[in-house]
Structure 1
Amino acid sequence: MTLHAIQADITTLAVDAIVNAANDRLLMGGGVCGAIFRAAGAEDLAAACAKVAPCPTGEARITPGFALPARHIIHAVGPVWHGGGSGEPDLLAGCYRASLALLRQAGGRSIAFPAISTGIFGYPVDQATRIAVATVREDGARHGGVAVTFACFDEHTLALYEKELGA
């Protein structure tokens, strides 16, 4: 398994799957979710999402990538931050595990993740980064063979991922 972090627009990445930081109804939202819907083709993606919705927090669903360079979009529903005592770390880790499992089931070998739950869901970026990297590494130790990109929105998030990755 290879892991790296870059500052990039996730919708431009040519990987087998990109991950959408989704809401539980898999509806078009703001932030990275809205950008993915717009780039993929909002009408087509909304129709595909309606077929696999709802998606509980900590789980993921997969749809085609439509107009994106990525073949698939994996919609992962991260937790809303309530201070950390409501199971948020386990739910966040579950998003990453579920996404990687769907990638493998689809025959994919490369995936790009945003910083799930760190936008409007309010998860502290430093804590979310630690969970993301640790969970992906743990999954890689069990299953291997996947190229993982953490697509960071800004320099601050990139620096946190690089620190966790030891880059």
Structure 2
Amino acid sequence: MPVEMLTYAELGERLKISPEAARALVKRHRLPRSRSNDGKTLVQVDLTEINHSPVTRASQTPPGHDLVTALKEHIATLQADLLEMKTVAGGHRSDFERECDRTNKLLAELLKANIETVAAREKVAHLEGRLSMVRQPWRQRLAEVFRHVPLEALRWNSGRSARSH
């Protein structure tokens, strides 16, 4: 084939490579270049002399990119789990507060019942004491009363009643 004058874009199309790769190829082979009237660079090339076959390369990903992607996905999963756990915890918190209120009400009722029970026991003891007094014969009760009264009180009352007659 004869020598042709091609731009980097045209050379890239013929060789099925990008214009940047065509420019690097021209530099590597030190092919003669010149400027056209429109300002583009023209390359003198004999395509039969260039044995170029485009190499398919793996995508240019930086090393560790897969690890970073996997970690980002894992972080997203953990954040979703965290939101779910916060929702569950909020439900448990409301249950806890409801049970605390219920416990406080039951405790208040228990204390009130305990106070009423103590008062009832005191009243029972008082009434049992009075009942035991009533069950005694009247003479014993009278003797019991006089046992607790001091003798001076009886003398004073007896003297007063004698004077008033």
TM-score (ref. length: structure 1): 0.14
Q: Which has the larger radius of gyration?
A: 2
Structure showing the higher strand proportion among its residues: 1
Structure showing the higher helix proportion among its residues: 2
TM-score (ref. length: structure 2): 0.14
